[in-house]
Amino acid sequence: AQKVTQAQTEISVVEKEDVTLDCVYETRDTTYYLFWYKQPPSGELVFLIRRNSFDEQNEISGRYSWNFQKSTSSFNFTITASQVVDSAVYFCALSVQQAAGNKLTFGGGTRVLVKP
Amino acid sequence: DGGITQSPKYLFRKEGQNVTLSCEQNLNHDAMYWYRQDPGQGLRLIYYSQIVNDFQKGDIAEGYSVSREKKESFPLTVTSAQKNPTAFYLCASSLSWTGWGAGANVLTFGAGSRLTVL
């Protein structure tokens, strides 16, 4: 069985501060994908990134960066110089390569509140 | 623009009533999904459909039913058998059910439907 843990339920920062969201996953599969989705107040989940289990390179996209470490089963997400528009709930998710296909296991989410 | 449309956005139901949530996509995606979101619990899979006229139970299917008569549509019925139906329901789709190519397992979500049982 797969499991995704986001230990931080809520993080509050002041605008321009950096914020790091933790994600720890559990799976016995060797082939899997990890995802981050953003859920703004409007409710719709927005895809941010997908990383496969064979690619441990960190990635930077604008103010967003991701740190994937298989040794610690973690896929952490950092927002640099946060802005009020970054206020949302962020979900980490895991999908394994099995016959059942693209079933995602989600973490509980981390609510980020960026204050002006 | 392509996307997923869910309706209604808000729905109130009396106990004992069945309600149907609509989900329509114009992305030409083969696979569609229904998730339930409760505060602090992330998203849980209710049902999923790989292709038209086929669907499978997810992790919490009891008290729910679905149909997939058209590729574009995947309605969810919350029946009176669902003991605690008050929640936020999200519909999603992906390019394909199997396959790990670019975008194959990236889900596109609708804006959700919030159901409240009175």
Contact B31 A102 (CB under 8 A): yes
The pLDDT, as a whole number, for residue B96 is: 76
Beta strands A64-69; A19-21: pairing state: unpaired
H helices present in B15-115, as ranges:
none
CA A116/CA A114 separation, integer angstroms: 7
Please report, as a single letter, which amino acid is at residue A79.
I
Q: What is the chain A residue with the closest CA to B5?
A: A44
CA atoms of A24 and A67, how far apart (whole Å) = 12
Decide: B108 and B96 in contact? Cβ < 8 Å: no
Report the pLDDT averaged over residues A39-55.
90
Query: Does B48 or B104 have the greater pLDDT score?
Result: B48
**Rounded average pLDDT over A48-75:** 90
Using a CB-CB cut-off of 8 Å, the residues of chain B touching A42 are 111
Cβ neighbour number for residue B69 with a 10 Å cutoff: 10
pLDDT at position B101 = 67
Confidence of residue B106 (pLDDT cuts 50, 70, 90): confident
pLDDT digits (tens, 9 = 90+) for B56-103: 999 999 999 999 999 999 999 999 888 889 999 999 998 876 666 666
Counting one residue from chain A and one from chain B, the pairs whose CB atoms sit within 8 A come to 62
Optimal mutation site among A24, A30, A34, A104, interface B, most CBs of chain B within 10 A: A104
In whole numbers, what is the pLDDT of chain A averaged over residues? 91
Nearest to A95 by CA among B14, B96, B90: B96
Partner-chain contact A44 B88, CB within 8 Å: no
Q: Mean pLDDT over residues A73-79, rounded?
A: 96
pLDDT of A66 above 80 = yes
CA B14 from chain center: how many Å? 21
What local confidence, expressed as pLDDT, does residue B61 receive?
Answer: 96
Q: Say if the Cβ atoms of B105 and A33 lie within 8 Å.
A: yes
